[in-house]
Every structure is written in C-alpha cells, then in structure tokens.
C-alpha cells in the first residue's frame, strides 16, 4: 500500500507487486481488490469527521512506478519502511528511489505507528548539508505547527569537500518563517549517528524527525553504511526525508 498526502486532499493508492508474466497477478487480483475495498471502507469511516477532501485511487502495477507517476503534484508521499512483498531485513529500496527520483518529500512511517501528532515537538537532524537545508524547507508547513522544534547536530569531523551551514544558519532560516527552535549539539559517543539521533528525538518526545537524505552517493551508503540507510532500517519514529 502506498499513500500520497497533499495539503487539502488525501489520495490512498493500493498497489500490487509487479508480475512479468501476468498469470500470478491475474489470480491474485480478486483477493487484492477485496482487501482494498475493506480498507477503503475503514478509511472512509476514519476520514468521515476529519474535514478534509480526499480521493481513493485503485491502480495495478509496480508501487514505485505508480507513486512516481502521481508525485509531481503532491506535497508529501507517505510510505512504510519495508518494500512491498519483500521479507528481507534492511532499508527499503523503494524509499531510496522515491527520495532520489522525485522532488516530493517522503515521510517514512514505522509499521506500528498509529498516527502523527503535528502539534507535538519535532526534531530536525542537522548536518549543514544542502540536503538538510532542502528537508527543512520542504518540512516548513509541518514545523510551523510543532509545539517545539529541536535542531540537533551530532558533532562530527568537518567535511572538506562541501560547504556546511552552521546550526545557527538553519535556526535563522526557521526564525524568518516564524519557527523558533532550540539548537542542541550532541556528542557522537559509542552509538551510531542514527541511533544517537533517534535517542535524542525520543528523549525530547518528538513526534517525527526531519532529515536530509543521502548526503553522499546512494552507492556509497550501500557499500559503507550511512545515516540515511541506518535510520531507515528500523525507524523508531516517522522520518521526513528530502534530497
């Protein structure tokens, strides 16, 4: 299942994994449609009192392709942390493709997440990269609703091959848009940066985390590991991503 969220409209889209030969898909489609109708009934009931416009779209095809096809006029794509029909443990390849191939930000929601409190505290994972700046700009409508915003920087060695924006510059940008934030610098310690960020967010009861995705090449992250990749393996809270 994939979900597209726009400013005043919800579009829920059900997808099935790709089938090159068509026979397996043809046999499974009736059951998929039946489950989709049950989900539609539940969604309609949940949204009945929300006061938002929404549409329901049922489409057949590969989830990544259909989400990309719809993404251009959407504000946010909301997806789970695992690839559809894939049981292997690890970060979703589809999430990485959506972030890198679409200009639309992606919100990755843990499997057991029951909702998103937009008025709770929020956290920005700040490393001064252009990706982090893009994520902050894209998340601004959400950050304006947060009761408190923390701009968290995990102390690292400076990167000589890029221009890093200092945390105060990120805070100044948010302030110009009416968002006050608290700058927090966290020592890396023995834990990974992704675990350190997750712990910092949970300690401050943040509802979600904003993060720039793939500050170095995706291939490098796959081979060497990286904050984006580690953060998507088993997210403990919703992660708002932009590249």
77-98: per-residue pLDDT in tens? 999 888 866 655 667 888 888 9
Distance of CA 21 to the CA centre of its chain: 32
Helix segments in the chain, DSSP class H? 23-47, 63-71, 93-101, 130-143, 167-176, 193-203, 218-224, 227-233
112-145: per-residue pLDDT in tens? 898 899 999 999 999 999 999 999 999 999 999 9
Q: Which residues of 173-194 are buried (b: 16+ CB within 10 A; e: fewer)?
A: bbeeeebebeebeeeeeeeebb
Kindly report, as residue ranges, where domains of CATH 3.40.50.620 are found in the chain.
122-242
Which fold is adopted by the domain 122-242? Rossmann fold (3.40.50)
Residues whose CB is less than 8 angstroms from the CB of residue 38 and which lie 6 or more positions away in sequence, other chains included: none
- How sure is the predictor about 56, in pLDDT bands with cuts at 50, 70 and 90? confident
pTM: 0.84
């Amino acid at each position: 299942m994939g979900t597209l969220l726009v400013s005043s409209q919800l579009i829920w889209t059900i997808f099935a994994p790709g089938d090159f030969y068509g026979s397996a898909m043809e046999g499974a489609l009736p059951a998929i449609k039946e489950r989709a109708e049950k989900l539609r009934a539940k969604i309609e009931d949940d949204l009945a009192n929300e006061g938002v416009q929404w549409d329901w779209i049922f489409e057949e095809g590969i989830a990544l392709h259909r989400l990309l096809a719809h993404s251009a006029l959407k504000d946010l794509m909301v997806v789970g942390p695992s690839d559809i029909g894939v049981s292997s443990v690890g970060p979703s390849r589809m999430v990485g493709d959506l972030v890198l191939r679409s200009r639309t930000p992606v919100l990755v929601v843990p499997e057991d997440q029951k909702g998103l409190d937009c008025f709770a505290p929020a956290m920005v994972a700040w490393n001064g990269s252009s990706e982090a700046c893009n994520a902050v700009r894209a998340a601004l409508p959400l950050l304006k609703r947060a009761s408190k915003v923390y701009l968290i920087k995990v102390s690292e060695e400076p990167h000589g091959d890029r221009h890093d924006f200092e945390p105060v510059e990120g805070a100044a940008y948010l302030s110009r848009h009416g968002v006050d934030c608290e700058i927090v610098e966290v020592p890396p310690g023995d834990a990974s940066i992704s675990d350190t960020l997750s712990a910092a967010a949970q300690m401050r009861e943040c509802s979600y985390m904003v993060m720039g995705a793939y500050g170095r090449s995706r291939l490098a992250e796959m081979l060497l590991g990286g904050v984006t990749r580690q953060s998507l393996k088993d997210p403990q809270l919703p992660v708002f991503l932009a590249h």
